[in-house]
Amino acid sequence: MNLLPEHILDRLYAVLQERMNADPQSSYVAGLFARGTEKIAQKVIEEASETIIEAIKGDPERLREESADLLFHLMVLWTDQDILPQDVFEILERRFGTGGLDEKKSRSK
């Protein structure tokens, strides 16, 4: 019997939720939560910019690492704002899950 959520993003989210109210000294993430939404938001933009820099440079190794950092901090932002990953995935599902054929129609812009 497997009680653990299976996808790493779900497991990561569970870890982040645990850390949210932990002692700010206890981990990088706990400290980030303690510094608040603005600081987390800045980290998201920072990692997004590092991600695109590696893409422009064409360094796949670094792009993977920076993409992981971006996903990580995006999930910290979700945790901070009580957003469930599942809710975001469902939006993608709604837009692309039917074979991705109606992407143009379902995008708002």
Angle CA 43–48–54, to nearest 5: 125
Tell me the C-alpha distance between 78 and 87, whole Å.
10
Contacts of 103 (CB under 8 A, 6+ apart): 95, 96
Residue 35 within binding range of its own copies, rule CB under 8 A: no
Residue 50 within binding range of its own copies, rule CB under 8 A: yes
Identity of the residue, 1 or 82, whose beta carbon is nearer to its own copies in the bound complex: 82
Nearest approach in angstroms of CB 35 to its own copies is 13
Tell me the C-alpha distance between 18 and 109, whole Å.
36
State the residues that interact with its own copies by CB under 8 A: 7-9, 11-12, 15, 18-19, 27-29, 37-38, 40-42, 44-46, 48-53, 55-58, 60, 63-65, 67-68, 70-72, 74, 77-78, 80-83, 87-89, 91-93, 95-97, 99-100, 103-104, 107-108
